[in-house]
Chains A and B, each alone.
Chain A
Amino acid sequence: AQSVSQHNHHVILSEAASLELGCNYSYGGTVNLFWYVQYPGQHLQLLLKYFSGDPLVKGIKGFEAEFIKSKFSFNLRKPSVQWSDTAEYFCAVNAASSGDKLTFGTGTRLAVRP
């Protein structure tokens, strides 16, 4: 069974600071990797995804993530955060053979101070 761990539960940054949120997964087979974001009072929405190919993937709103297979990691980055990035961020994995089942990390709450 797959599992996902997110190292930071709460992160507080000032606007324009750089962001990196850690995500490690545990699974022996092929996985698809995702970052979802949940803005206050809104639905979960997809930020970016990795299925194959270039391990550096770019998503919406200036976010990117790098898949490092040897480290089982898929860290999320943004060079300069904005107040509007305040949200909860979830890393998720889907074993390629398990349909739509997503295994989520526990989430990281990001607060950006204006």
Chain B
Amino acid sequence: KAGVTQTPRYLIKTRGQQVTLSCSPISGHRSVSWYQQTPGQGLQFLFEYFSETQRNKGNFPGRFSGRQFSNSRSEMNVSTLELGDSALYLCASSLGDSPYNEQFFGPGTRLTVL
């Protein structure tokens, strides 16, 4: 069974640009969650999508947005990039239909903002 895949793996952008990251969940998984990982703040929850609907949202500014498609693939978008957005962005998927589902993490996309 293929794991969670994220593209691209590495990205370099400049301040003010926007970026779109993609996540393909494990086949059959309907929930996709996004996390930001930085050395200073650790792992912070961005949002969760389940069956194309945002089910949970973290405390990030509106520049961070996401969506989920009917095949459960998800994208997250960051507009007007700031230096502080440099981070590893992790995606996790689960079946999503129970609080006892295990989440599986992808390798992440490392975003560098110059």
Residues of A within 8 A of B (CB): 32, 36, 43-46, 49, 51, 90, 92, 94, 96-107
Interface residue tally for chain B (C-beta within 8 Å): 28
Asked whether B105 lies within 8 Å of A100 as measured between CB atoms, the reply is no
Residues of B within 8 A of A92 (CB): 43
Residues of B within 8 A of A36 (CB): 105
Q: Is the interface of B mostly helix, strand, loop or mixed?
A: strand
Asked whether B105 lies within 8 Å of A98 as measured between CB atoms, the reply is no
B87 within 8 A of A: no
Asked whether A100 lies within 8 Å of B94 as measured between CB atoms, the reply is yes
Q: Given that A32-B99, A32-B100, A101-B56 are known contacts, is A106 also in contact with B42, CB under 8 Å in the complex?
A: yes
Asked whether A102 lies within 8 Å of B103 as measured between CB atoms, the reply is yes
Residues of B within 8 A of A (CB): 3-4, 31, 33, 35, 42-45, 48, 50, 55-56, 58, 90, 92, 94, 96, 99-108
Residues of B within 8 A of A99 (CB): 31, 48, 50, 55-56, 96, 99
Residues of B within 8 A of A101 (CB): 33, 45, 48, 56, 58
Asked whether A43 lies within 8 Å of B48 as measured between CB atoms, the reply is no
> From B55, which residue of chain A is reached at the shortest CB distance?
A99
Asked whether A94 lies within 8 Å of B33 as measured between CB atoms, the reply is no
